[in-house]
């Protein structure tokens, strides 16, 4: 019988990772998403909780691209893969 070490996300206990560094990165991404969501909800109170969560996670996953766009490289946003509009 083989023993396997897995890491669980502290912010999303359903997610398991084979690498501690990957689990840590995921937790940090979720932490950033939560902070972004709080700011977005304060700025636009009409957003639903689901919208706030979805936008926060999207921005956190693509934080490097957004960082470049905020540093006078707005063309960086063209790199984002956006879902097709229905």
What CATH number does residue 17 fall under? 1.10.10.710
Residue 1 lies in a domain: no
Q: Is the pLDDT of residue 2 over 70?
A: yes
Q: What is the pTM of this model?
A: 0.80
Residue 84 lies in a domain: no
Q: Give the contacts of 9 (CB within 8 A, at least 6 positions apart).
A: 15, 16, 17, 23, 26, 27, 30
> Total domain count for the chain?
1
Q: Can you tell me the distance from the alpha carbon of 17 to that of 31, in angstroms, rounded to the nearest whole number?
A: 17
Mean pLDDT of the chain: 90
Q: Is the pLDDT of residue 86 over 60?
A: no
What per-residue confidence (pLDDT) applies to 56? 95
């Amino acid at each position: 019988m083989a023993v396997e070490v897995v890491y669980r996300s502290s912010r999303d206990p359903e997610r398991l990772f084979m690498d501690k560094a990957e689990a840590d990165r995921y937790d940090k991404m979720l932490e950033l998403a939560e902070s972004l969501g709080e700011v977005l909800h304060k700025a636009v109170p009409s957003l639903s909780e689901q919208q706030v969560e979805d936008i926060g996670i999207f921005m956190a996953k693509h934080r490097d691209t957004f960082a470049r766009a905020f540093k006078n490289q707005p063309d960086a946003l063209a790199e984002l893969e956006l879902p097709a509009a229905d």
